[in-house]
Amino acid sequence: MAKVNKRLAVLVGCNYPNTQYELHGCINDVVAMKDLLVKRFGFDPTNIELLTDASAVTGEGSSSVVLPTGENIKAALSKMVSQAEAGDVLYFHYSGHGTRIPKPAHIFGHDEAIVPCDFNLITDVDFRQLVNQLPKGASFTILSDSCHSGGLIDKEKEQIGPSTYRAASSLSYKAKNIPFESILEHLTTLTGINTSDIGTHLLESFGANASLKFLTPQLESELFDFLKADEGILLSGCQADETSADMNPMESGGK
């Protein structure tokens, strides 16, 4: 009997409810994407993991009982990649805040990151490691609908995103952006440590679950010294120096 190739997906929507960083359309995004994957692209619903912070509001009856923390998102992605075989199709969709981490003495000046609901940043180093683990013959598409999402898989040869500026919609919208200074301020209140080094705060708060970028600083150069040909594709909501917009579904007919 011929082997049946798997289609696996992890979908993450962060609205950050009841915070000053609250968004409104991100959970709507991934719920709609799950429907699309099943009905149009033939994904088995049991092979789609949905993580949202809806339960932070409702407490029950949410679409997910697993909150999209940094640890949970990385665990879901690692599980998906570990299950992959040649011919399989992997898909990760993230809708939420993105940010840029200043990187002194780096030619581009910043690292791109996504902002899970607990602020345990997931960086381009983490995504590069995931793509490096992809078995030959499997494909991995990452769609990040977040600010500064261009370059989220560092040194990825296949990146698709907007190249021109488009006029803003007449509907009200909010940038999916948290300034780095705000993230630093938030983490400082959690750790009580007086330092501007983001890695110190993340390691203090999340320990071994912090980004690889901060756990093993030398790992970044090691990862990129051994770049291999891969089937990774990044679809970004914007370029690395741009912001993406959050639309309130209640103002656009529920979608």
223 SS3 class? helix
* Three-state DSSP class for residue 181: helix
Catalytic residue flag (residue 238): no
CA–CA gap between residue 68 and residue 253 (Å, rounded):
26
Q: Which residues contact 192 (CB under 8 A, 6 or more apart)?
A: none
- CA 60 vs CA 66, 172, 186: distances in Å: 12, 30, 27
Residue 201: both structure tokens together: 């705060």
- Per residue in 84-119, is it b (16+ CB within 10 Å) or e — as a string? beeebbbbbbbbbbbbbbeeeeeeeebbbbbbbbbb
* Rounded-to-integer distance, Cα 132 and Cα 227, Å: 7
Options 26, 147, 148, 201, the catalytic residue: 147
Token digits of residue 231: 């089937």
The Cα 42–Cα 129 span in angstroms is 28
Residues 93, 97, 148, 201: which is the catalytic one? Answer: 97
Residue with tokens 């970004």: 236
147 catalytic, yes or no? yes
List, in order, residues 6 or more apart from 166 with CB less than 8 Å away.
Answer: none
Provide the token pair at 93.
Answer: 């969709």
Q: What does the alpha-carbon distance between residue 3 and residue 119 come to, in Å, rounded to a whole number?
A: 40
| Residues annotated as catalytic (active site), given as ranges | 97, 147
